[in-house]
């Protein structure tokens, strides 16, 4: 996945320089048509599309108003069951709301897990805290596996 993401950003960076050069690079006219731009960004996650809107004014204007793209992203990432929660909004606004809701739910669930496991130092706003929780969980798992082996139980 890491290679795909870095390749995606490399592609976006190259497209940025083409776009910022006002359609001309090394004397060659280049203008990325909207349908090609839409196809490229439809392969990204919604959060990556939101970041891609920062590439240039043209991209921002295009991505903020391409309701077809946001509808496609919404249905791909959240499914039809989420449609009831988004009525009356633009697809982009619905996507952002659903994304924030999923992030909040993830934070709440992670806080519950940390509490159940007795991990007192957890702070859902800190990436380091997530990493520490994962390390804590791995250590607990290793300890449990060791205890099972010592008891003669195969895991």
Q: What is the per-residue pLDDT across 111-134, written as a single tens digit (0 to 9) for each?
A: 888 888 888 888 888 888 888 888
Distance between CA atoms of 62 and 70, rounded to whole angstroms? 11
Tell me the pLDDT of the chain averaged across its residues.
79
Residue 44: pLDDT above 70? yes
Which residues sit opposite 28 in a β-bridge?
Answer: 25
Q: Is residue 53 classed exposed, middle or buried when 0-12, 13-18 and 19+ CB atoms within 10 A define those classes? A: middle
End-to-end CA separation in angstroms for the chain: 30
Which residues 6+ apart lie within 8 Å of 86 measured at CB?
74, 93, 94, 97, 98
Report d(CA 119, CA 104) in Å as an integer. 19
Residues 18 and 30: beta-carbon distance below 8 Å: yes
Q: DSSP code of 82?
A: G
Helix (H, G, I), strand (E, B) or coil at 119: coil
pLDDT given for residue 29 in this prediction: 47
Q: Assess whether pLDDT exceeds 50 at residue 33.
A: yes
pLDDT of residue 25: 45
Give per-residue pLDDT as tens, 70-85.
899 999 999 888 888 8
């Amino acid at each position: 996945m890491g290679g795909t993401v870095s390749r995606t950003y490399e592609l976006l960076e190259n497209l940025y320089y083409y776009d910022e050069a006002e359609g001309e690079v090394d004397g060659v006219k280049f203008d990325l048509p909207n349908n090609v731009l839409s196809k490229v960004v439809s392969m990204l996650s919604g959060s990556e599309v939101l970041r891609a809107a920062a590439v240039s004014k043209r991209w921002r204007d295009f991505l903020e108003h391409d309701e077809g793209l946001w509808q496609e992203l919404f249905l791909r990432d959240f499914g039809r069951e989420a449609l009831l929660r988004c009525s009356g909004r633009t697809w982009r606004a619905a996507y952002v709301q659903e994304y924030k809701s999923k992030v909040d739910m993830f934070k709440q669930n992670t806080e519950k897990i940390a509490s159940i496991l007795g991990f007192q130092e957890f702070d859902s706003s800190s990436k380091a805290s997530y990493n520490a929780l994962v390390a804590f969980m791995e250590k607990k798992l290793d300890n449990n596996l060791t205890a099972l082996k010592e008891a003669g139980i195969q895991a």
